[in-house]
Chains A and B, each alone.
Chain A
Amino acid sequence: MPYSRDRLMRAVDIAQVFSRTRSGTLGIISDESRELLVSPLRQRSPMGIGGGRRRNSSFGTPGSGIRQGGSLYQSLAMGRENTPLTGRARGRGTGSVLPSWYPRAPLNDITAVLRAIERRRARTGGREGIPIETPIIVEDEVDVNSNVPSGVQLEHNFSTPASTARLKKPCPPSVHNVSNILLSVTNMDAEESELLTPQKKLLNSIDTVGKALMEELQKLKRTPSAKKAERQKKVRTLMSIR
C-alpha cells in the first residue's frame, strides 16, 4: 500500500538520530535512522531511499519469494529428511507429549507434569488401559455421584457408635467413615475409570475425603457431650478468673 509523502517540515534532532544510528558495539545501522538522515534532505540513487516501504517494489524477487514461501509453509515440511516416517503422521494429532486438556503456554515449565505422567504410566503399565485423553464433560456427573453415596454412608456409620454402649471402642467413628469413603471412591473408580484421568480421580478423591472430614469434625462438635465439655471448659476458665 503506497504511503503519502510527508511534506511537512519537521525539526529533526540530528544529534539524537546519530546516537541512535548505530546500535551497540556491533554497529548495526538501523533502517529508521537511515531514512531520517537522508530522505527529506537530498536525493540519492533511485534505489533505496525515500521510505523503506517503497523498497518492496524495487526488488522483484521477494514478491515471488513470498508467494513461494507461503505455499511451502502450507504443504508441511518438505525435503528428504522430513519424510513422514520420522513420526509426524503417527501418534497423537498435535505430536505433543502432554494431554490435550492441559493448557499450553510457550516455555511453560512442564517438568513436574511430565514426570507425573511418566510415573503414572509406569505404575499402571497399561493394564487398565486408561488413556490420557479424556472428555471434560463427564467431570460434573461424576462429582454428583461421588458425593451422594459417601454422604449416605457417613450417616449410617455415625449412628452405630452413638447408639451402642461399649466399654472399648475398636476404632473412632471418624476412621470408619474415612475408610468407607475411600472404599466407595475406589469402587466408583473401577466403574468410571475409562472416563476419568488419573489426575482427575486423585482430585475427586481428595475433594471427597476433605469434605467428609470437615463434615465429620462439625458433627463431632455438635454432639451433646462435646457441647457439655465445651461448657465445662468455659465455666472453669471463668471460675479461675474470679
Chain B
Amino acid sequence: MDRFIPNRSAMDFDYAHYMLTEGKKTKDDQTVCSPAKEAYRKMLAETLNMNRTRILAFKNKPPTRSSERTLDAPHLVDDFYLNLLDWGTGNVLAIALGNTVYLWDASDSSTSELVTVDDENGPVTSVSWAPDGRHIAICLNNSEVHLWDSTSNRQLRTMRGCHRSRVGSMAWNNHILTTGGMDGQIVNNDVRIKSHVVETYRGHQQEVCGLKWSASGQQLASGGNDNLVHIWDRSMASSNSPTQWLHRLEDHTSAVKALAWCPFQSNLLATGGGGGDRTIKFWNTHTGTCLNSVDTGSQVCALMWSKNERELLSSHGFTQNQLTLWKYPSMVKMAVLTGHTSRVLYMAQSPDGCTVVSAAGDETLRFWNVFGAPEVAKAAPKANNEPFSRLNRIR
C-alpha cells in the first residue's frame, strides 16, 4: 500500500545525495576536533536539520481516497436496521436490492440473480453467507428465513415461525444460523434438523440490528435499537430458564448496529453507536469493562477490523458519509474515504482481506482497497550506519 511507498515531493534530494556520498566524511576527523568545535558542529547540524539518518519521506497526514470501482445498486433499501450486503468465502458478493438478491462474482465481475421474492413477502431484510461460501441465508420482511444453495441455484429450506416479525440481522456459527428479529428475540437455528429452533436468547426490548459471533464461536455479541449490547456465551445455555446474557453493556445512547470482534486480540469487541451516540467503544468481553470510547462525530453504521493490520474501519452517516480508517489502539485517523452521498449503511470485506465494499442509500456499491496486502515489502531507508535519529518521519 502507498503508506510504505516514499513520497518524492516530500523528500529533500540534496540532503539525500549528501548523506549517501559525503555523510561519512565527518566521522573520519573526529579525533582531531576540539570539544568546542565538535559541539559547534553538532549544533550547526541540528539547526540546519542535517543530523537525521532517514532520507526517504512519507506523507504523514491521513490521505483522502476515492473508490476504485462503483457499481449501480437500484432499489437498495435505505434502512439502518437491515443487513443487505455480505461477501462470502467463495469470493461472491451478495446484495439485496428491494425484492431481489443478486450475486456478484468478484473473480470475473459477473452478476447473476439468485431470487426475486413476491412483493407481499418482501423486501429482503438481510442476507448472510454460510461459512462454506456456498450456502446463503435470506430473510424476508414477513419473518421467513430461506436457505439457498448458490451453486445449484435452488432453495433448500424455509424456516418459519422463529420470529414474530422481520429478521434484520443474522450470524452463522458453523451449522447454527442465529437470527435477530424486530421482536427483540435472538434465535439459534440448527439448519441440519427439522425443528430448527435450538435456543432463544431474550434480552433486547427492541429490534436486534447487529449480530456477530466471535471467531472462536463461543460468544455472541448483539446490538439493538434499545441502545443495549449483549454478550451471550454458549456455555451458559440452559434448557429450563430463559437464556441469560453474560454481559449487558449499557454505555451507548443510541442504537448499536456496528459490531466487530477483533481478529488479533481475543475477547476484544468494538461497537459503534447510532446518530445520537456517534462513539466507537471497545470492550473486554471477559470482564465486560469498557476499555476505550472515541467520539467520531457522526452516526456509526458499520465496523470492520483489518485482517492484516491493526486497523479498524468505520462507516458513517450524515454529514460526510465517509469511511474512516483508524489505527488501533491509538485511534489515530489514518485515512478518510469519501464518495458516498448518503449514509454508508452496509459494509463487507473480501475473503483475502484487501478490499472493502460499501453500500449506501445513494444506490451505489463502492469498492475500496483500503486494507494492505498481507506481505508488503517495506521500503528500507537508505541511510548510513548511524543510529536512528530522533526525527521519525514515517507515519
Interface residues of A (CB under 8 A from B): 22-31, 34, 48, 52, 55-56, 59, 61-62, 64-66, 68-70, 72-73, 77, 79-83, 85-88, 91, 94-98, 104-111, 114
Contacts and interface: CB of A to CB of B under 8 A. Distances in A.
A81 B275 contact: yes
Nearest to A52: B158
A88 B142 contact: no
A85 B319 CA distance: 10
Given A95-B361, A95-B363, A77 B147 contact: no
A48 B194 contact: yes
B192 A88 contact: no
A73 to B, nearest CB: 5
A62 B142 contact: yes
B79 interface: yes
B292 interface: no
A81 B78 CA distance: 11
A23 B135 contact: yes
Contacts of A87: 318, 341-343, 361
B144 to A, nearest CB: 7
B135 A73 contact: no
A79 B175 CA distance: 32
A34 B194 contact: yes
A107 B361 contact: no
Interface in B80-120: 80-81, 95, 97, 100, 102, 104, 109, 111, 113, 120
Interface in B240-282: 254-255, 257, 274-276
Contacts of A28: 135, 147, 149, 156-157, 175, 191-192
B207 interface: yes
Nearest to B82: A77
A110 B364 contact: yes
B361 A108 contact: no
Given A95-B363, A107-B71, A69 B165 contact: yes
B80 A73 contact: no
Given A24-B149, A61-B161, A95-B363, A77 B78 contact: yes
Given A97-B362, A114-B70, A107 B111 contact: yes
Nearest to A94: B363
B97 A80 contact: no
Contacts of B306: none
B109 A29 contact: no
B318 A85 contact: yes
Contacts of B123: 73
Contacts of A88: 78, 361
Given A81-B257, A81-B275, A105-B72, 8 more contacts: A27-B191, A27-B192, A29-B194, A65-B166, A69-B141, A79-B225, A106-B73, A111-B67
Given A79-B207, A87-B342, A62 B135 contact: no
B120 A96 contact: no
A98 B157 contact: no
B386 interface: no
A81 B135 contact: no
Given A28-B156, A29-B191, A110 B70 contact: yes
A59 B160 contact: yes
Instruction: Kindly name the residue among A91, A97, A108 whose own CB sees the greatest number of chain B CB atoms within 10 A.
Output: A97
A86 B149 contact: no
A86 B345 CA distance: 11
